[in-house]
Amino acid sequence: MMQKGARAAPATAQDLTRFAERPIAFLGHYVRRRPISHAVILIAVLGAVACSVSTQYGVKFLVDTLSGEPGQGTSPWMAFALLVSFVAADNLLWRVASWTASYAFVHVTGDLRSDLFRHLTGHAPSYFADRLPGVLTSRITATSNAAFQIENMFVWNVLPPCVATVGAIAYLTLVSVQMAVVLVVVATAVMLVMFRIASAGRPLHHAFADKAAAVDGEMVDVIGNMSLVRAFGGITREHSRFDTTVNDEMVARRRSLLYLEKLRLTHALVVVVMTLALLAWAITLWQARQATAGDVVLVCTLGLSVLSATRDLAVALVDVTQHMARLSEALSTLLSPHELRDHPEASALVPNGASVTFEAVSFRYPAGKQVFDGLSLQVAAGQRVGLVGPSGGGKSTLVALLQRFYGVSQGRILIDGHDIARATDESLRHAIAVVPQDTALLNRTLMENIRYGRPDATDTEVWEAAIAARCRPFIETLPKGLETIVGDRGVKLSGGQRQRIAIARAFLKNAPLLILDEATSALDTEAEESIREALESLMTGRTVITIAHRLSTLRNFDRILVLKGGAVVEDGAPDDLMRREGVYREMIERQRDGLEQMVSG
């Protein structure tokens, strides 16, 4: 038995994708992971509803006993005791169900969010490039909330009316089989009509779910880019845009709610008519001495119970339909299959020097242009290679493919002879350290951000990496040193400081293959010179591939690859390329002329 508060084992990505279009099966998956607690809730609710319906029979029994109806020789106190027992058991069982649900339902939402987060983080970067982060996070929250509401509504609002209706009709057969049959027919007809009407409103509920998610995504997008919005005076424009988005959401919500209100109004009219008819029928039976006074009370109470139950059930089903719409909409987005998964026969990559080989690699972006067509190149272990060339030449794509952010259309990419498509993703990540141009920092301490390169590193090792990356001067000026929170995406640090943290992280990771993407671009000239030594130390003994626009950073490299139009148009040592006419020499001269103009200006 799973202990209260224990986390269930996480589902695999493959387990979740099969639920993308099956929200009911998705919920059932999490219910089955906590079978005992859900079984306790189910038994307690069934028992409580049975006692609740039996309470009305207890009232009938007490009335007949007090009125001295023929055949009622039971003591009034016995009838009273029976009624009290039903009432006590009813309340006790509801508390058992509620207490158990406070654990089970909460932990279902925890399991669900944890699994969705695991699945979401398994997507390739291209997945996140096409979607707003705020929309994705809001959908996880929406899925969790919808699952919680559906479980609650099923247990408290759907199951009880169903059981109460069956029990009430069973008791009504004791008074009049004909009345019970009529009530069954009417109740069934009402339920079918209500459910069909509720189902017809599903597009309205889906539209509301979609608009609500759009509002969340819009807010996150603007708040996450406030510096851009303010820099370009976009506050007023964003207010207007957000008002339009909220208005669209409100219109969708009003349509959804008005549809529900029409449903409730229709049911209310049916309840009024049927209640009057049942009561009149019961009085007629009493006048014909075919029913006791207790029977009339029982018909009245049970008839009202059945009709109220159909109303509660109809409303609950509509609400469940609305929550199911939001759940379905979120799952269809979140549970799309991962674009890149470990090959079934994948094995761990064990680098031995980290040589890199591209064998006849072809690649095009999804719904985009062809970037590489049969690209072949080799980088020897320990070699320092610079990638240069005009924008759109394929430099960033080459590095992305090497990290397996995308799968190649044809050909292979190998590290030390191991096809990375057949390497486990975890081992590939361990083999590569990256210092990006746009440094990504988590809203955590400097210590945690540097340690992200190697989670098992000691505090001393983290500090040594920070010193090696020339971070010490600015860290010592911070109020809490390495324990300083850097803010969202490192907003509390300057661009150069953020980049030094990224370099420290690479130092700490100590991977054999190092990728640098303009690693000194955010530094001023003095800072760049001071960090050259750090980068030189970092590159020693490693295979290095660098994307560079500032060509002066490549003067000590072993080799330059000039990429243009997805092809290597020049390949050689920096000095060799400078001695012949070509793209590299033109780029060097252009940058030199630009620098001279700046100095003379």
Integer Cα distance of 462 and 446 in angstroms:
10
Q: Is residue 176 domain-resident?
A: yes
pLDDT in tens, 428-484: 888 888 888 777 788 888 888 888 888 888 989 889 888 888 888 888 888 888 888
pLDDT attached to residue 356: 92
Cα→Cα distances 281→67, 164, 277, Å:
21, 21, 6
Secondary structure of 165-188 as H, E, C letters: HHHHHHHHCCCCHHHHHHHHHHHH
Q: What is the pTM of this model?
A: 0.64
Q: Is residue 7 domain-resident?
A: no
Residues in contact with 239: Cβ distance below 8 Å, sequence separation at least 6, in sequence order:
none
Integer Cα distance of 55 and 167 in angstroms:
11
Q: Which of 51, 149, 42, 150 is nearest to 100 (CA)?
A: 42
pLDDT attached to residue 274: 72
The three-state secondary structure class of 432 is: strand
pLDDT attached to residue 129: 66
Single out the residue in 334, 364, 383 at which a domain terminates: 334
Q: Is the pLDDT of residue 107 over 70?
A: yes
Distance between alpha carbon 337 and the CA centroid of its chain, in Å?
14
Q: Are residues 269 and 404 in the same domain?
A: no
- Please state which of the ranges 27-36, 83-92, 173-182 shows the lowest mean pLDDT: 173-182
**Cβ atoms of residues 221 and 134 within 8 Å:** yes
| One-letter identity of residue 543 | T
Q: Are residues 444 and 572 in the same domain?
A: yes
Q: Which of 114, 118, 117, 95 is nearest to 106 (CA)?
A: 114
Q: Are residues 132 and 281 in the same domain?
A: yes
Q: Is the pLDDT of residue 125 over 80?
A: no
Integer Cα distance of 288 and 265 in angstroms:
36
Q: Is residue 164 domain-resident?
A: yes
Number of domains in the chain: 2
Phi-psi region of 454 (alpha: psi -120 to 50; beta: other; left: phi over 0): beta
Q: Which of 307, 286, 312, 306 is nearest to 297 (CA)?
A: 286
Residues in contact with 227: Cβ distance below 8 Å, sequence separation at least 6, in sequence order:
none
pLDDT in tens, 341-399: 777 778 888 888 889 999 999 998 877 778 999 999 999 998 999 998 888 888 888 99
pLDDT, mean over the chain: 79
pLDDT attached to residue 574: 87
Q: Are residues 329 and 360 in the same domain?
A: no
Structure tokens at 355: 């040589």
| One-letter identity of residue 239 | H
Structure tokens at 558: 């072993």
- Please state which of the ranges 160-164, 299-303, 528-532, 578-582 shows the lowest mean pLDDT: 528-532
Angle of the 76-121 helix axis to the 23-32 helix axis, nearest 10: 110
Q: What CATH code is carried by the domain that includes residue 470? A: 3.40.50.300
Q: Are residues 330 and 405 in the same domain?
A: no
According to DSSP, the β-strands at 356-364 and 370-379 are antiparallel
pLDDT in tens, 395-412: 888 998 998 888 888 999
Count of CA atoms in the C-beta half-sphere (13 A) of 245: 18
Q: Are residues 49 and 194 in the same domain?
A: yes
Structure tokens at 503: 């370099």
Q: Are residues 303 and 376 in the same domain?
A: no
Q: Are residues 79 and 112 in the same domain?
A: yes
Q: Is the pLDDT of residue 43 over 90?
A: yes
Q: Is residue 342 domain-resident?
A: no
Angle of the 133-153 helix axis to the 76-121 helix axis, nearest 10: 160
Q: Is the pLDDT of residue 111 over 80?
A: yes
**Cβ atoms of residues 17 and 134 within 8 Å:** no
Q: Are residues 171 and 39 in the same domain?
A: yes
**Cβ atoms of residues 61 and 83 within 8 Å:** yes
Q: Which residue range(s) make up the domain with 453?
A: 356-600
pLDDT attached to residue 561: 92
- For residue 9, which phi and psi values (nearest 5 degrees)? -60, 135
Integer Cα distance of 274 and 282 in angstroms:
12
- Give 376's strand partners: none
Q: Is residue 151 domain-resident?
A: yes
Q: Is residue 296 domain-resident?
A: yes
Q: Is the pLDDT of residue 293 over 60?
A: yes
Q: Are residues 115 and 236 in the same domain?
A: yes
Q: Are residues 255 and 393 in the same domain?
A: no
Calculate mean pLDDT across residues 550-557. 79
**Cβ atoms of residues 418 and 429 within 8 Å:** no
**Cβ atoms of residues 528 and 508 within 8 Å:** no
- Please state which of the ranges 72-76, 87-91, 307-311, 426-430 shows the lowest mean pLDDT: 72-76
Q: Are residues 363 and 293 in the same domain?
A: no
Q: Is the pLDDT of residue 566 over 80?
A: yes
Count of CA atoms in the C-beta half-sphere (13 A) of 558: 14
pLDDT in tens, 187-237: 777 767 766 776 666 677 667 767 776 777 777 777 767 767 777 677 787
Q: Is the pLDDT of residue 72 over 60?
A: no
Q: What CATH code is carried by the domain that includes residue 85? A: 1.20.1560.10
pLDDT in tens, 493-535: 877 788 888 888 888 888 889 998 876 655 555 556 666 777 7
pLDDT attached to residue 2: 45
Structure tokens at 390: 């005009």
Phi-psi region of 511 (alpha: psi -120 to 50; beta: other; left: phi over 0): beta
pLDDT attached to residue 41: 92
Q: Is residue 350 domain-resident?
A: no
pLDDT attached to residue 69: 54
pLDDT in tens, 126-159: 677 667 676 777 778 888 888 888 888 888 888 8
Write down the H helix ranges in 33-132: 35-67, 76-121, 125-129
pLDDT attached to residue 304: 67
Q: Is residue 113 domain-resident?
A: yes
pLDDT attached to residue 61: 66
